[in-house]
Structure 1
Amino acid sequence: MIREAHGFSRERRHVDGSADLAQAEAVSNALSTHFHVSGYVLIPAAVVITLLAMKKPAIPTICFGAVLGCVWAILFQGMNPLDAVHTLYSGFQIESNVDFLDQLLNRGGIAFMLDVIVLILFALGLGGLFEATGVLTVISEAMSKLVTNVGRLTLSTIFAGFLGNFFRGAAYVSLITGSKMTEENYDKMRVNRTVLSRNTEAGGTITTPMVPWSDGGIFMAAVLGVATWEYLPFMWFNFIAIAITIFYGYTGKFIWYTEDRTKPSDKPDQQSAAGKSI
């Protein structure tokens, strides 16, 4: 269904040493016919990458890049201003008589991502509802009884993040469940919340593409044109990252503690010194 909705075919293509360059030449000629190809057309993308590298806010940066792209289309591609603005919502449309190029370029805009955006909005709303009604607190208290060491603490965080993806279908919600369900346990064991952030990423962000109905799973399946179960065995980075995180938890490597845990004798020394002075 996803393949049909996004225009992906089931045909699998590969090339060998004697590949035919006719398609590449056809695409190159079509691009030259319909667009003014030059180095300056990459400036909007370079500006966005530079601003993100400077750690500027993501949403204003991306919006600025979109506006800059419209300006570039008007100035250098001869596009009508109304058509340029219209592409922000409905995406770009072209008829180049090259199926590969049309399939690649005839997409984009807000409308193209509406299904994913709606899914994210509903998932975030459900996550906020669970937090406001105390559901996360109840689950957190139940999990705290099983957490007796840092290894189990790590596993509980990864599991809580995966639950956010499995039941609510969004990476944003998995970050909420992974952190909110276990943050008190980190404070009780005096483990620095930097470790909580890392473990939450391992259980939330990394496991998102593994769930077919999550926003990441839908996006990956749509882009790759294959079902989640088909690309799952090739997600070696995700599995290795989770394994390393669990290894760190049980071995204590790269686990940082708060100042109270690393220097437990500071406060007693201060109290005894105060008692002597009195």
Structure 2
Amino acid sequence: IASSVVGIDLFEHIRNMMYTTVPAWILTVILFWMFSGQTTSADLSQVTILQGQLIDSGLVHGYSVLPFVILVGLALFRVNAIYTIICTIAAALIITYVHSSPSFGQLGGYLFAGYAPAESLELGEVGGMLSRGGVQSMFFTQAIVILALSLGGLLTALGILPALLSGIKDTLTTSGRAIFAAAMSALSINVLIGEQYLSILLSGTAFRSTFERLHLHPKNLSRTIEDAGTVINPLVPWSVCGVFISQALGVPVLDYLPYAFFCYLSLL
């Protein structure tokens, strides 16, 4: 999203992101290592049980990794992202059909309601994990996305957000000020609306002309709004990412927020 908003190549954007994400990742690993304390021998019996249940499910095969291989291969050849996603989904559907020969109705059911293992298999916790997925499980998150985008559209149509952003554009006379303002804009929209894509779209559109005026390459803008928009969204309890992560992990946002070092460090 960030690369398309400012008009640069996706892979150029990814390479430029490494200047912030790699140091942030290394520092995050160091911090987690420091906070982990003394390590002791762990009981891996539960892992062995989960491994056995996965094998019993009949879903673990070497060719299961083929869609991922296709994804990486098409990405390396810089194939359009939409075509890459379509090819990956098609490969996964073909493998599913060859492996278990489901009817088209069952395939549609997998896409809508998710996969459900046979009741005769006693898969324990693994059965619960495999039963997740499908469009049906995303309805609540999708509702949050729609509401967030609706609020953002309303604030934009009423001229509130454009007025706030345009009010500071005349004071941006240096590179430092422009980058800081773009980052704070993306962060503020995340907190106000709770939608990461909207924070990228609005900030990227508003500050693109400013970066051009200051002779800053657009990749600097895309990296800034990515570091201050995408990774900050999981830290907002009412955001799309915050709601999804807290539901998936069963951990409230405010509980994991102090330990989300990567999110803070990417912004810094």
Give the TM-score, by structure 1 length.
Answer: 0.72
The alignment status of 1:143 with 2:168, answered yes or no, reads yes
The alignment status of 1:66 with 2:95, answered yes or no, reads no
Counterpart code for 2:70 = V
| Structure 1 residues 170-206: Cα deviation after superposition (integer angstroms, max 9, x where no partner) | 1110102222333333234333322222211122112
In structure 2, the partner of 1:41 is 64
Deviates more, 1:90-99 or 1:31-40: 31-40
Equivalent of 2:102 in 64, 74, 79: 79
Alpha-carbon shift at residue 18 of structure 1 (Å): 5.0
Gaps of 5+ in 2: 1-38
Conserved in 2, the CA contact under 8 Å of 1:161 and 1:174?
Answer: yes
| Cα RMSD (Å) | 2.5
What are the within-5 Å matches in structure 2 for residues 101-112 of structure 1?
Answer: 101-112=126-137
User: Which secondary structure does the structure 2 equivalent of 1:35 belong to?
Assistant: coil
Conserved in 2, the CA contact under 8 Å of 1:186 and 1:192?
Answer: yes
Counterpart code for 1:139 = L
Q: 1:36 to 1:115 in 2, by over 3 A?
A: closer
Q: 1:24 to 1:202 in 2, by over 3 A?
A: closer
User: Which secondary structure does the structure 1 equivalent of 2:230 belong to?
Assistant: coil
Alpha-carbon shift at residue 145 of structure 1 (Å): 4.2
In structure 2, the partner of 1:4 is none
Larger Rg: 1
Alpha-carbon distance between aligned partners in 2 of 1:152 and 1:211, rounded to the nearest angstrom: 25
In structure 2, the partner of 1:19 is 43
What are the within-5 Å matches in structure 2 for residues 143-222 of structure 1?
Answer: 143-222=168-247
Conserved in 2, the CA contact under 8 Å of 1:178 and 1:203?
Answer: no
Alpha-carbon distance between aligned partners in 2 of 1:18 and 1:197, rounded to the nearest angstrom: 43
User: Which secondary structure does the structure 1 equivalent of 2:132 belong to?
Assistant: coil
Q: Highest relative contact order (Cα 8 Å, sep 6+), 1 or 2?
A: 2
Alpha-carbon shift at residue 71 of structure 1 (Å): 2.3
User: Which secondary structure does the structure 2 equivalent of 1:113 belong to?
Assistant: helix
Q: 1:206 to 1:143 in 2, by over 3 A?
A: same
In structure 2, the partner of 1:12 is none
Conserved in 2, the CA contact under 8 Å of 1:30 and 1:98?
Answer: yes
Alpha-carbon distance between aligned partners in 2 of 1:58 and 1:158, rounded to the nearest angstrom: 26
Gaps of 5+ in 1: 1-14, 244-278
- Number of aligned positions between the proteins: 228
Conserved in 2, the CA contact under 8 Å of 1:212 and 1:218?
Answer: yes
| Structure 1 residues 30-60: Cα deviation after superposition (integer angstroms, max 9, x where no partner) | 3333315321222123223322343333344
Which structure: greater helix fraction? 2
Conserved in 1, the CA contact under 8 Å of 2:66 and 2:91?
Answer: no
Alpha-carbon distance between aligned partners in 1 of 2:252 and 2:59, rounded to the nearest angstrom: 37
Give the TM-score, by structure 2 length.
Answer: 0.74
